[in-house]
Amino acid sequence: MNKKLVSGLFWVLLLNIIVKPLWILGIEVGVQNAVGAEAYGFYFSIFNFAYIFNILLDLGITNFNTRNIAQHPHLINKHFGGILTIKLLLLALYLVVTFTVGLLIGYNSKQFALLAILTFNQFLNSLILYLRSNFEGLLLFKWDSVLSVLDRLLMIVICGVLLLNTYTRSHFKIEYFVLAQTAAYLITTIVALAALLHSRHSHALKLRLRFNKPFSLAILKQSAPFALLVLLMASYNRIDPVLLQRLLPDGDYQAGIYASAFRLLDALTMIAYLFSVPLLPIYSRLVKKETQNPNEIAETTKSMFSLVWVFSITAAITLSSMATPLMELLYTEHTETSAQVFRILIYGIIPISFTYVFGTLLTANGNLKQLNIFAALSLLINIGCNLWLIPRYAATGSAWASLIAQSFMALTQMVAAFRIFHFRISFDYLWRLLLFLVIVGCCNFIHFSSLWWHLLFVGIVALINAILLFDFNLKKFISPKIKA
């Protein structure tokens, strides 16, 4: 396996495995327990509304930049100032669109006040992602790994102090949580800029804004397909709590229920996403090679799919079977209702993980038209299912809508990847996949008195069988001939 991919996966996973659980299970859960389901649902629905239009801050520039810098590292010095200028102009577009749509759907002054802070946070987050894309394109995965957790680490410190203090916890407001995000994003942005400006790979890089109309139009034209894809995917991934809030009389409360179930899925999704971070530049170089070797692409895809299969199948089946004790462990109220939603929603990690492998491959290969069609259909399916299921089953119905849309997206991407790259799956490999599924499923019929003993038991069995059933020989991920 290429050393850059190994190093990238190792550092990204290590730092995120340390920090992200503390953030999600410690801080986010602590905040929701402190403010209650309704207040947190109020924040969560507006956050997701702001997140949907987040792509207007980027229009696909970050994904384009990762791919472009990976293939042409010398262009970082030429493009940096121009892209920063474009992002500032896109901020104005984002604010106009977000507040206009908020006005059209009937947001009140309190909702707009929170939305104003959240939109600024989204801009800072988008800026951080763009800065990280330069490190990813240069294959500087250690720096990218640090920046991927720095904002969360800072928020853990800030919110941890507020939540551990008895007085501040009893008076904690959701606005404090949002402002902590602002402070953490600002500090992370400054650190990322400083690191990039002093990198030996960008010694001539200057922080100088300049607007070049032909350059801006060329960049936006090339990145537009990425932008549409991200907008569509953000919509079908994040629209559920927004629809819950607008369609139900107790919409804030139901959005809070959905948030409590979604939290663990979001944590697992981030782990699956981390696999794709070093994979995009590696795939980009593989498909760019003039003497493209289909076997290299096939072996990389098979190895990564084996990893996400082991991870997602084990997580989905095990956590779904332990839904009630998990919700009782995390929350102080609405645990049974949250467990009902969680049992369904957590299975979304399986199709989501698949999209991070096959979607990344199709993105690197430039098959954005197909991906946009799949995403548009997934969005229509999600909205249609939500409109039908939410009035009948509230947050549980929205969980089903999400799972159906995610499954459709994963299936269509897999079919497209197999057709374009002429992948073949052997009976032996398929048998190993199914056997692993059966073993993990059977293990979850064995229950222990302790949740932690059950999780440990299934984890050990899954790990042993993954090693026995799948060839995780690192040399077979990517040919060593591919240079960084």
Q: Give the model confidence (pLDDT) of 179-190 as tens digits.
A: 999 999 999 999
User: What confidence tens digit (pLDDT) does each residue in 374-422 have?
Assistant: 999 999 999 999 999 999 999 999 999 999 999 999 999 999 999 998 8
pLDDT, mean of residues 121-150: 82
- Is residue 203 assigned to a domain? yes
Q: Does residue 241 belong to any structural domain of this protein? A: yes
95: confidence class by pLDDT, cuts 50, 70, 90: very high
The arithmetic mean of pLDDT across residues 450-459, rounded, is 89
Residue 240: inside a domain: yes
pLDDT-derived band at 476, boundaries 50, 70, 90: very low
Segment of 200-204, 263-267, 392-396 carrying the highest mean pLDDT? 392-396
Judge whether 71 lies within some domain. yes
Q: How many domains is the chain partitioned into structurally?
A: 1
Is position 102 within any domain? yes
Three-class secondary structure of residue 455 per DSSP: helix
- Does residue 290 carry a pLDDT above 50? no
Instruction: Output 288 or 480, whichever has higher pLDDT.
Output: 288
Q: Is residue 117 part of a domain?
A: yes
The answer to whether residue 471 is domain-embedded is no
Provide the residue range defining the domain that includes 163: 3-424
Is residue 305, in this structure, part of any structural domain at all? yes
Residue-level pLDDT at 186: 95
Give residue 141's pLDDT: 67
